[in-house]
Structures are given as structure tokens and as C-alpha cells.
Amino acid sequence: MEKTCPCGSNFSYIDCCQPYHQIKMLPPTPEALMRSRYTAYAMHLVDYLMETTHPAKRILYNKVDIENWAKKNKWLRLEICQTNNDVVTFKAYYEHQLQLEIHHERSIFKKDGNRWFYFSGSYFS
Ligand SMILES: [Zn+2]
């Protein structure tokens, strides 16, 4: 049995987010990129998270912070609430210090050439 992808697509990881993580394919839509980034958090693929952040925004992030955030939480599941052109609203469910938390974000993606990048996000509390 192949492991189903952490992003919740019901596909196995190798048929879902892995080709994006290995840069064998580019995510064709903001939602696909969003899913692959969630899976990257769940699998602690920090380089992928940096590479899929828009170059103009990378300065706002650093790998150590991303890695710590990814590792200190247990990523439970992803729920895509809405996708509208370059905007994806989602909820990421995770466990932090045995407490269920929900990260609810409206993310904006930008296309550069043929490649989508994470551009910015605003959070709901
Ligand atoms: Zn996936």
C-alpha cells in the first residue's frame, strides 16, 4: 500500500506532491502549489518551502524558522476552503503541545513565467 499524500488528495504521495517536491513537475495551479507546500511542512522539506516562496518575498523568511515551525507541530490535515484565481483560502489542522490548532490563511500566489509562487498571506484568528 502506498501512503496517501498528507495534503488530503487521496492520491498516493508519489502520484501527488512528490513530483513537485522533486521539481520533476511544476504545480499547475495555486491550489496544487498550496497542497504541495502543506505536504512540505508535514515532511519538513524546508528547501521546497523557500524555493516556492516568491523571490521578492524570500527575505521575510529563513530556513531555521520554517524548519522549527514545521517540526514542532504535528500536521494533521489540510482543508482547502476556497480557490479563486490566484487566491487560496485554507485551514491547516495541526497539533501543537498536544493542543489542536487551526491555521486559517488566505494566501496569494503569483505566477512568474510558467511557475507559481507563494506571494503573501493574511491570517484569520
Ligand atoms: Zn499531495
Give the pLDDT mean for 13-40: 98
C-alpha cell at 22: 522533486
**pLDDT tens digits along 33-79:** 999 999 999 999 999 999 999 999 999 999 999 999 999 999 999 99
Residue 8 lies in a domain: no
For residue 62, the model assigns a pLDDT of: 95
Interval 16-43 mean pLDDT: 98
- Is residue 6 in some structural domain? no
Residue 28 backbone class (left: φ over 0; alpha: ψ -120 to 50; beta: rest)? alpha
Q: Which domain holds residue 50?
A: 13-124
Distance 35 CA to ligand 1 centre (A): 6
Q: Which residues surround ligand 1, an ion (CB under 5 A)?
A: 5, 7, 9, 16-17, 35, 39
Query: Could you tell me the distance, in angstroms and rounded to a whole number, from the CA of residue 102 to the centre of ligand 1?
Result: 19
Total tally of structural domains belonging to the chain: 1
Distances (CA, A) of 95 to 56, 63, 71, 98, 119: 31, 21, 11, 6, 26
Residue 29 lies in a domain: yes
- The confidence score (pLDDT) of residue 3 equals 83
What is the CA(39)–ligand 1 centre distance, in A?
6
Write down the pLDDT at residue 78.
Answer: 98
Other CB atoms within 10 Å distance of the CB of residue 24: 8
Please indicate, yes or no, if residue 103 is contained in any of the structural domains: yes
Indicate yes or no: pTM above 0.85.
yes
**CATH number of the domain within which 43 lies:** 3.10.450.50
Beta strands in 27-86 (DSSP E): 74-84
Has residue 27 been placed in a domain? Answer: yes
How is residue 2 annotated by DSSP? P
